[in-house]
A and B are shown apart, each in its own frame.
Chain A
Amino acid sequence: MLAALLAAACVLLVALPFLKEPSPASDSLHELDEAERRRLERLEARDRALAALKELEFDHRTGTISDEDYRTLVGPLRREVAAALQALEADAGSPADGTAGEGRPSGGRTS
């Protein structure tokens, strides 16, 4: 009967992970450990700071932000980006990854 077929198919689908790997090397869910969690937060902080800088440059170029306001705001933002990159480097104990190439603070690609 169709209903029984449906039920069987669903049970199969649910049991699939166990059927495919009856005895796996490791069954533990990869959770982010303390170090990885910190790294994720620092990555997010870096991206946030970079995006803010980019937006400021864009707003300045379009004239939304005046020269004065730009001068006031750009300093702290650049420092924030530098700090974020530094934190990442310290974290990894190795040069910052290549993905940061997009974010040289001075006159980098904006918009």
Chain B
Amino acid sequence: MSELGRAALLVTLGLSVYALVAGVAAARLGRRRLALSAQNALLAAFVSTAVASAVLLAALLRHDFSFTYVARTTSEELPTAYTISAFWGGQEGSLLLWLLVLTGFGAAAVRLNRSWARDLVVWVVPVFAAVTVFFAFLVVAVASPFATQPAPPDGAGMTPSLQNPYMLAHPPLLYLGYVGLTVPFAFALGALLSGRTDERWLVATRRWTLVAWTALGVGQLLGAHWAYVEVGWGGYYAWDPVENAALMPWLAATAFLHSVMIQEKRGMLRIWNVLLVFLAFSLSLFGTFLTRSGVVNSIHAFTQSSIGPWFLAFIAVTVAVSVAVLLRRLPLLRSRARLESPLSREAAFLYNNLLLLALCLAILWGVVYPLLSEAVRGEAVVLGRSYYDFFLRAFGLPLLLLMGIGPLIAWRRASLASLATTFRWPTAFALATGAVLLALGAGSSLPGLVAYTFSAFVAATIVLEFARGTAARKALGATSWPGAFFSLIARNRRRYGGYVVHAAIVLLAVGIAGSSAFDSVGEATLRPGETLEVGRYALTYRSLDERQTANATELRALLSVRRGGRDLGTLEAGKNAYTVEQQVSNEVGIRSDRLTGEDLFVIAEQIDPDGTVSFRVFVKPLVNLIWLAGLVFVLGSLIALWPDAREQRRLAERATSLGLTTSR
């Protein structure tokens, strides 16, 4: 079976090389059938990659330990769901998943756009093929999932903390995001190569970018949630290089999504947009390089692997080629429209881009600094949490405020008088909220208070926009208020979907501010019967319980919880000792308050043989808003993504009037 897998991957490599060569030839010579053949090659590459993936999946499900990869990542009694997730649990399998998604997206993106953007697609195909060649080469020659060995009696098993539903979804979503960014990149580079100056590449890739960006965002939230409940140190983000590896391309993609709107409305920033999409794609490659090469100390680090140099070379080539093509086509990209005023929506979006990019680059600097300092000074200097927190506040807080200003400021030029009118009520509301919070004690953390105040401002602007829009639709003749509300959203999906996404970010900001700026922590070593008080909670350690399950011994300390005199029930925290894997994992106890979103977070740090337990307890206000934000985020994206029949019709008419859809 492994020969089939190896052969299938070899076929993929061959097909993608053909697609690259034939694609370039077809584009330069203008040969229709050759272009179609190259497109078909991309589709065939997806088919053969799918075959290879099926082989690996079957081997996993069969527990075929003659496959080195299967033996390394699973064991006999691993539950089926996690056996499947082992597909992407190791280096080789995850590269295969990347390749599968890549070929799938490539085939789909090309197919969907080939009728109305034929002359663009003919250049997109070779770009996609080039990226595919790289990843196919990796899985064929450098990190093959189909290496075999004499089958051992059982596999090595999966780390217990990975056997968790969040870890099922987290990597695939991230890959959808990373690979998804290849689509706008390929179309941008293809558009440049084709010498076209029209906006079709933007229109074609808009939804792809949005989906990739959403997947990347949700994937990160899932990872953060996993860190919170599984790893259980009391936090959800550690500014670890691998976490940053996903955050950086997401920030660049966020900047891209915004500046694309400016190009759409005013035809400006074309060079900037191309650069942004190149940056986002390069960062996603770079992030993957960081994760896999072990180059930076990280909690996800590999040992030095052979993958690293190849990735670095590919990134270098990608950047060099992209910049070279951009420079050659620079004259074509110059736009006539000018920025008319520093007080306009265009300017607001530019500031937004600037801040997002500044944050992205600050994080990038923090990640590569140890490498650079080691190369230059011979000593790796590591930048800690305080570095990242500083820049998150310095750039993130103004960004938050801008989120409320941008949507309401006029295009081209806004007068100060009109600004004063528009922002009167949101400002008043924000200041009032700030004053109230200050009175309630939020002054203990200035950044936290500022975050709350800005969030109130943005929330007010969003509510106002929905209210005014609904009122306007009602005045236009909608039958009822709910009817007006829904038709408002239906007719302006991108705009109001965007507002919902902004609302999600507000929830995220409030949740982060509450749980990091206003949290409390307490520690004590308790014997049964003793009590620890943290915040308004009183926890009494009652007893220690030991249980046996199929693969672990579970130790749980039982605590009873009271708050302000009221009994809130019990909570368990402890450790699991896994027999096969010979590892111990932390099992934290979390009590979430439904009303306030507050978490009582208990870690049983050390359990002594005599029943004495050292506890570490956090009170995290508003932390559950972060997870709620994830749901709202997806909702907003869905609204923005939803196909708009009217827009599709208009684009189709445009294409027909140019003779693009008739097959010639």
Contact = CB atoms under 8 A, between A and B. Distances in A.
Interface of A: 2-3, 6-7, 9-10, 13-18, 21, 24, 26-32, 36-37, 39-41, 43-45, 47-48, 51-52, 55-56, 58-59, 61-66, 68-69, 72-73, 97, 99, 111
B32 A28 contact: yes
B654 A43 contact: yes
Interface of B: 3-4, 7-8, 11, 15, 18, 26-27, 30-37, 40-41, 43-45, 47-48, 51, 118-119, 122, 196-200, 264-267, 408, 410-415, 417-418, 421-422, 465, 468-469, 471-473, 475-476, 491-492, 650, 653-654, 657-660, 664
A32 B197 CA distance: 12
B122 A29 contact: yes
Given A6-B7, A63-B468, A14 B15 contact: yes
Contacts of A10: 11, 15, 41, 44-45, 47-48
Contacts of A39: 657-658
Contact of A18 (B37, B122, B267, B411): B37
Contacts of B31: 27-29
Given A10-B11, A29-B30, A40-B658, 8 more contacts: A6-B7, A10-B41, A14-B15, A14-B44, A17-B37, A32-B196, A62-B468, A97-B653
Contacts of B122: 29
B472 A18 contact: no
Given A14-B15, A111-B492, A24 B410 contact: no
Nearest to B646: A102
B421 A31 contact: no
Contacts of B119: 29-32
Given A40-B658, A48-B264, A21 B33 contact: yes
B198 A41 contact: yes
Nearest to A92: B657
A16 B40 CA distance: 8
Nearest to B264: A48
A65 B418 contact: yes
A66 B43 contact: no
Given A15-B37, A52-B411, A6 B418 contact: no
A30 to B, nearest CB: 5
Nearest to B415: A69
B118 A29 contact: yes
A37 B196 contact: yes
A16 B492 CA distance: 43
Given A27-B32, A30-B659, A52-B265, A64 B492 contact: no
Given A7-B7, A111-B491, A65 B118 contact: no
A47 B33 contact: no
A68 B199 contact: no
A103 to B, nearest CB: 11
Contacts of B198: 37, 40-41, 44
Given A31-B30, A48-B264, A64-B408, A3 B8 contact: yes
Contact of B418 (A16, A21, A48, A69): A69
Nearest to B470: A62
7 contacts: A2-B4, A29-B30, A29-B118, A32-B196, A37-B196, A47-B654, A66-B418
A47 B415 CA distance: 26
B657 to A, nearest CB: 6
Contact of B657 (A41, A43, A44, A51): A43
A111 B411 contact: no
B11 A32 contact: no
A62 B471 contact: yes
A36 B659 contact: yes
Given A15-B37, A62-B469, A111-B472, A29 B26 contact: yes
Nearest to A22: B33
A14 B196 CA distance: 27
A108 B421 CA distance: 28
Nearest to B468: A62
Given A29-B26, A30-B32, A65 B410 contact: yes
Q: Count chain A CB atoms within 10 A of each CB in B43, B118, B472, B659 and give the residue with the most.
A: B472
Contacts of A28: 30-32
Contact of A41 (B197, B491, B492): B197
B35 A29 contact: yes
A14 B471 CA distance: 56
Contacts of A15: 37
A41 B8 CA distance: 44
Nearest to A12: B44
A29 to B, nearest CB: 4
Nearest to A36: B658
Contacts of A26: 32, 664
A4 to B, nearest CB: 8
B40 A14 contact: yes
A63 to B, nearest CB: 5
Contacts of B492: 58, 111
A45 B198 CA distance: 10
A64 B8 contact: no
A59 B472 CA distance: 10
B280 to A, nearest CB: 24
A6 B659 contact: no
Give the 10 A-B CB pairs with smallest separation, nearest first.
A3-B7, A17-B36, A62-B468, A10-B44, A17-B33, A29-B30, A13-B44, A62-B472, A66-B418, A30-B664
Contacts of B47: 6, 9-10, 13
Nearest to B487: A111
A62 B33 CA distance: 52
B465 A64 contact: yes
Nearest to A32: B119
A16 B35 CA distance: 12
A62 B496 CA distance: 14
Contacts of A97: 653, 657
A47 B264 CA distance: 10
Nearest to B37: A17
Contacts of A36: 658-659
A69 B414 contact: yes
Contacts of A45: 267
A111 B474 CA distance: 12
Contacts of B35: 29
Contacts of B412: 73
